[in-house]
Structure 1
């Protein structure tokens, strides 16, 4: 049985958010950001989860006192609804302030494969 795409996406996002939490517990900031980026890639087609992901990125940036990232996330929170309404979501974009909010990026192979599989 094929599960709906949004349900599958939410399951994958939950895995990445768990990886984010685990990385934070051992103070692995790099791994924590990577997990948030991967969750962002998955959430992009779905406005609600996409916004939740940017809020998580914003909160983590505040905790890290990374003010450049805080500003970048605030801008992305404003842009995400516009991107959804216009259909201009840059597929594969990691959602961080160190990349253009408009730049499509390659999706990591393992993530692309996981996103393609909806039969669980």
Structure 2
């Protein structure tokens, strides 16, 4: 097996491990978000202030960045989850591009060598 292929396969293995790690992190962040939303709902039920008549909004999509208290934590956790859903694929694409470059380079060089041989009449 040639060196470029070994490098490519190593890159595939690294990309796979990074993807698994990032997906595990996304799962962890989603569970933290669910816990925070459950805390928010519980806090809304236990509210004894003059605002107790109103239901506490705990859906991260409905909350703004100017939220306070537990709602702010829900918004921050939701933004981390959204970022974590996109980031792994970008990282894997960069890793694969880096580790595929030598294979592509040697492939192109081989095609150029073949073209040179054809033009030279060998």
With normalisation by structure 2, the TM-score equals 0.30
Relative contact order (C-alpha < 8 Å, sep 6+): which is higher? 2
Q: Kindly name which structure, 1 or 2, has the bigger radius of gyration based on alpha carbons.
A: 2
